[in-house]
Amino acid sequence: MKIVIVGCGRVGASAADLYDRSGHDVIILDSVTAAFDRLPSTFGGQAIRGDGTDEDVLLKAGAAGADVFLAVTEGDNRNVMAAQLANEALGISRSIAKINDPLRAAAYAELGIATLCRTGLMLDAVNEYLALGPSNLPGMLAPSGHHDGDRHDGTSSLTRPVSPTGASTGSTSATTQEV
């Protein structure tokens, strides 16, 4: 599989190393070059410095057509935006965003991206160790809806041509133009 990882922190670097060693095609991005020091010298994938919320950067990095997109920077919102960009503009249907706020994690699963909430995962792990019940907080959530509310086919109207007036031809074009 081709796997794109945004954020080369502990989670990102470990995931990159793991998937690389299991024979997957890994591209990892971080806005700070020093972050790549976390990767082992044996890492055989691509490490690219750049902002994972910038479509041009993702395209240049070769992220288009990836099978999996994993946004694990330390900023919840950056992860949300990167994953939605991957999903909508690059057509990567399996986009996962790390979101530590349980409310946002649940909300974004309903809006079409898979979410990963450390708060819920950790509490569940602790509770399991203590033989207590589940936390009832979101842990790993699969997408359960779409931001349009109706489409689930993974196609993106963002990649469709834009009309000459600049209005999106997608189904969410009922918006007011600025300027």
Partner 1 sequence: MFVLVVGGGKVGYYLAKELIDAGHEVALMEKDRRRAGQIADEIGSIVIAHDGCEGKYLGEAGCNRADVVAAVTGDDEDNLVICQMAKHHFDVPRTIARVNNPKNEALFRHLGVDELISPTRMILGSIEQDIPVHELLHLAALGEGELEIIEAHLQSGSPAIGHAPRDLAIPDGCSLFAVIRNGVATPLRPDTIMLEGDKVIAIGNTDCQALLHAQLIGEALATDA
For residue 75, with 0-12 CB atoms within 10 Å meaning exposed, 13-18 middle and 19 or more buried, which class applies?
Answer: middle
Provide the token pair at 145.
Answer: 């809806």
**According to CB under 8 A, which one of 136, 144, 155, 173 is a site residue for partner 1?**
173
Q: Does 110 bind partner 1 (CB under 8 A)?
A: yes
> For partner 1, which is the closer residue by CB, 33 or 172?
172
Q: Does 175 bind partner 1 (CB under 8 A)?
A: yes
Q: Does 178 bind partner 1 (CB under 8 A)?
A: yes
Q: How far apart are CA 91 and CA 157, in angstroms?
A: 10
Provide the token pair at 124.
Answer: 């569940």
Q: Does 25 bind partner 1 (CB under 8 A)?
A: no
Provide the token pair at 114.
Answer: 């898979």
| Binding track, positions 62-91, relative to partner 1; x by CB under 8 A | -------------xxxx-xx--xx--xx--
Q: Does 135 bind partner 1 (CB under 8 A)?
A: no
> For partner 1, which is the closer residue by CB, 81 or 121?
81
Q: Provide the CA 36 distance to its chain's centre, in angstroms.
A: 19
The full DSSP string for 37-79 is: GGS-TT--SEEEES-TT-HHHHHHTT-TT-SEEEE--S-HHHH
Q: How near is the Cβ of 170 to partner 1 at its closest, in Å?
A: 6
Stretch that binds partner 1, among 1-9, 22-30, 40-48, 106-114 (CB under 8 A): 106-114
**Nearest residue to 30 via CA among 66, 79, 64:** 79
> For partner 1, which is the closer residue by CB, 41 or 176?
176
Binding site for partner 1 (CB under 8 A): 53-56, 75-78, 80-81, 84-85, 88-89, 101, 103-104, 107-108, 110-111, 147, 157-158, 162, 164-166, 168, 170, 172-173, 175-179
